[in-house]
C-alpha cells in the first residue's frame, strides 16, 4: 500500500509535473487568497505536508537525503516560508477586508500611538534573540557539521552540488547555458530586486500588509520567489541525483541511470525536421530563425503590451522605466517558457553558436 503510493509518486514526478502543479497551486493561492489563508486551509496544508514527510521519513532513501546535514535547513525553510507566506497573506486579506469596509488597516489603527522602545521593543527583541540562540545551540548539538573526505581534485563526487542556496541557479543550468543561468539571470535577479522600489511607485500599501491593492506586484514577486527560486532549490536539492538526472522523491539515486538525451536545437528543428534541408553552413544563416525569435520576443511583446494590458503602466512609468520593467519581466518569464519548450519539443537551444559560446 505504502510502497505502491511511493511508487506512484515516483512515477508521476518529473520536472514538468512538479513545476506545473506548483504553478497551479500558486494560481489557486493568489486567486482565492481569502479561502487559502483561512485557518482550516492552512492547517490542512500543514497536515498534508507533515503527512508527506511522515511517510517520506519511513523511506530510507528519502530519509538519507532529507537528513543530510546541509539539507536540513531547506526542510526548515519549507515550513518557515510556507507559514510566513500564509501568515502575511492572511494579514493582507484582513487588511483588505478592512479597507473594503472603509476602516483603517490594523497598522493604520495604531499608527499614531507610540510605545517606548524600552521595554516593549527591547524585550521582544531579547526574548526572540534568546529563543533564537537556544534554537541554534540545540541545532548545533543535535546535528553535526558535515566533514567528508579531504578535498581531492581528481575525484569528483557525483552529483557535485553547489551550496543549497545556489541550487536554484544550478537547476537553471538544465535549461540554459552557464552564461545565462549562472551569470545573466543572477545579475537580473539582483538588479530586478534593486529596481522594485523604482518600478512599483504606487504609494498605497506602504507599511502594512495588503494584497488587493498590490496584486500584480505581489503575484510577480511571489511567483519569482516561490516558483523560480525556492521550487528550483527544492528540485535541485532533493530530486536531482547523479549526473543531475531527475529522481522521484523515493527513488534510489542510481549512478548508472541512463536517460535519453535527444534534445535538438531550433535550427535543427526548422531546417532538418520541418524544411527537410540540411543545416546551412554559415552560422548566422543557420541561427537566423533563432535570433529572430529571440529578438521578436524582446521587442514585440513590449510594444503590444504597452498598447494593451500595460497601457496605464506605460503611461505611469514612462518609456525608459517601462522598458526596464518589461525587460525584467520578459527575462523572468523566459525561464518557464524555455522549460516548457524543452519539455514539449525537446528544444535544446533557440540560438546555438558554440563557436562563440553563445547559446540561448
Cα dihedral across residues 336, 337, 338, 341: positive or negative: positive
Decide whether 53 or 166 has the Cβ nearer to another protein.
166
Ranges within 317-356 binding another protein (CB under 8 A): 353, 355-356
**What are the φ/ψ torsions at residue 352 (nearest 5 degrees)?**
-130, 100
> Counting contacts by CB under 8 A, is residue 265 touching another protein?
no
Query: Is residue 256 close enough to count as binding another protein by CB under 8 A?
Result: yes
**Residue position matching grid coordinates 549512478:** 255
CB closer to another protein out of 128 and 304:
128
The residue behind cell 503590451 is: 305
CB 239 within 8 A of CB 18: yes
Give me the torsion for CA of 122, 126, 132, 133, rounded to 10°.
140
**Binding marks (x or -) toward another protein, 172..211, rule CB under 8 A?**
-x---xxx-xxxx-----x--xx-xxx-xxxxxxxxxxx-
Comparing CA positions, the residue from 215, 238, 192 lying closest to residue 29 is 215
Give residues 135-164 in contact with another protein (rule: CB under 8 A).
135-141, 143-158, 160-163
The number of residues in the chain equals: 360
Closer residue to another protein (CB): 35 or 64: 64
- Residue 60 interacts with another protein (CB under 8 A): yes or no: no
**119 lines the binding site for another protein (CB under 8 A):** yes
- Residue 246 pairs in a beta bridge with 240
Query: From the list 5, 8, 32, 81, which residue makes contact with another protein (rule: CB under 8 A)?
Result: 81
| 42 in contact with another protein (CB under 8 A) | no
Return the range that interacts with another protein (CB under 8 A); candidates 16-24, 70-78, 303-311, 317-325. Answer: 70-78
Residue 170: CB minimum distance to another protein, A: 7
Q: Does 108 bind another protein (CB under 8 A)?
A: yes
Site for another protein in 208-227 (CB under 8 A): 208-210, 214, 218, 221, 225
Spatial distance between the Cα atoms of 71 and 74, rounded to a whole number of angstroms: 5
- Residue 236 in grid coordinates: 535541485
Question: Mutual orientation of helices 39-57 and 2-12 as an angle, nearest 10°?
Answer: 100
Amino acid at each position: 500500500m505504502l510502497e505502491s503510493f511511493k511508487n506512484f509518486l515516483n512515477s508521476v514526478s518529473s520536472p514538468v509535473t512538479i513545476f506545473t502543479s506548483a504553478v497551479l497551486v500558486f494560481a489557486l493561492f493568489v486567486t482565492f487568497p481569502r479561502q487559502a489563508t483561512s485557518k482550516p486551509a492552512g492547517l490542512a496544508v500543514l497536515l498534508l505536508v507533515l503527512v508527506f514527510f511522515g511517510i517520506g521519513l519511513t523511506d530510507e532513501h528519502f530519509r538519507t537525503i532529507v537528513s543530510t546535514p546541509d539539507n536540513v535547513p531547506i526542510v526548515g525553510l519549507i515550513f518557515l516560508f510556507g507559514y510566513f507566506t500564509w501568515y502575511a497573506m492572511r494579514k493582507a486579506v484582513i487588511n483588505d477586508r478592512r479597507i473594503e469596509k472603509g476602516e483603517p488597516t490594523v497598522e493604520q489603527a495604531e499608527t499614531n500611538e507610540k510605545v517606548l522602545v524600552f521595554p516593549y521593543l527591547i524585550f521582544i527583541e531579547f526574548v526572540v534573540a534568546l529563543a533564537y540562540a537556544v534554537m541554534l545551540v540545540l541545532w548545533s548539538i543535535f546535528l553535526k557539521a558535515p566533514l567528508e573526505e579531504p578535498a581531492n581534485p581528481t575525484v569528483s563526487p557525483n552529483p557535485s552540488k553547489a551550496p543549497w542556496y545556489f541550487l536554484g541557479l544550478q537547476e537553471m543550468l538544465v535549461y540554459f547555458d552557464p552564461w545565462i543561468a549562472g551569470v545573466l539571470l543572477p545579475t537580473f535577479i539582483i538588479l530586478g530586486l534593486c529596481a522594485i522600489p523604482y518600478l512599483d511607485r504606487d504609494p498605497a500599501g506602504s507599511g502594512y500588509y495588503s494584497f488587493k491593492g498590490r496584486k500584480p506586484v505581489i503575484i510577480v514577486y511571489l511567483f519569482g520567489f516561490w516558483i523560480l527560486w525556492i521550487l528550483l532549490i527544492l528540485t535541485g536539492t532533493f530530486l536531482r541525483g547523479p549526473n543531475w538526472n531527475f529522481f522521484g522523491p523515493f527513488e534510489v539515486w542510481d549512478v548508472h541511470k541512463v536517460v535519453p538525451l535527444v534534445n535538438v536545437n531550433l535550427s535543427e528543428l526548422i531546417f532538418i525536421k520541418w524544411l527537410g534541408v540540411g543545416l546551412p553552413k554559415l552560422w548566422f544563416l543557420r541561427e537566423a530563425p533563432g535570433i529572430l525569435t529571440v529578438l521578436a520576443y524582446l521587442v514585440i511583446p513590449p510594444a503590444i503590451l504597452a498598447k494593451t494590458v500595460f497601457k496605464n503602466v506605460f503611461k505611469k512609468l514612462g518609456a525608459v522605466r517601462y522598458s526596464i520593467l518589461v525587460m525584467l519581466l520578459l527575462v523572468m518569464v523566459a525561464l518557464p517558457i524555455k522549460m516548457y519548450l524543452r519539455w514539449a519539443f525537446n528544444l535544446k537551444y533557440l540560438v546555438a553558436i558554440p563557436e562563440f559560446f553563445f547559446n540561448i
